[in-house]
Amino acid sequence: AQSVTQPDIHITVSEGASLELRCNYSYGATPYLFWYVQSPGQGLQLLLKYFSGDTLVQGIKGFEAEFKRSQSSFNLRKPSVHWSDAAEYFCAVGRTGGGNKLTFGTGTQLKVEL
């Protein structure tokens, strides 16, 4: 069975500082990997995705993520955080077939200090 671990429940960074949110997955084959962001009271918005090709993927809002098969990781990064990036971030893993289901991590809450 596939699973996702986001080891950091809360992270606080200063505006302008760099950010890295960790995501580790468990899956037997090459997974489909996703990062979503959720602002308070809102639905989830897709930031970026990976399923093949270049292991460094670019997403919206200046975010990027790197797939590292040897570490079973898909960490999300941003070089300079803005106050508007404060939100909850979810990593998810999926596989084709069987309903194209996703398994989500428990999320990381990002706070940005001005």
Partner 1 sequence: DAGITQSPRHKVTETGTPVTLRCHQTENHRYMYWYRQDPGHGLRLIHYSYGVKDTDKGEVSDGYSVSRSKTEDFLLTLESATSSQTSVYFCAITGDLATGQYFGPGTRLTVT
List of residues contacting partner 1 (CB under 8 A): 32, 34, 36, 42-46, 49, 51, 90, 94-96, 99-107
Q: Residue 106: left (phi > 0), alpha (psi -120 to 50), or beta?
A: alpha
Cβ nearer to partner 1, comparing 26 with 42:
42
Residue 33: which of 83, 96, 81 has the closest Cα? Answer: 96
Residue 76: which of 44, 33, 14, 16 has the closest Cα? Answer: 33
DSSP characters for 24-66? EEE-SSPPEEEEEEE-TT--EEEEEEESSS-SEEE-GGG-EEE
Considering the complex, what minimum distance in angstroms separates the CB of residue 18 from partner 1? 25
Cβ nearer to partner 1, comparing 12 with 45:
45
Considering the complex, what minimum distance in angstroms separates the CB of residue 16 from partner 1? 29
Cβ nearer to partner 1, comparing 31 with 78:
31
Residue with tokens 């639905």: 43
Considering the complex, what minimum distance in angstroms separates the CB of residue 83 from partner 1? 23
Cβ nearer to partner 1, comparing 41 with 70:
41
Considering the complex, what minimum distance in angstroms separates the CB of residue 94 from partner 1? 5
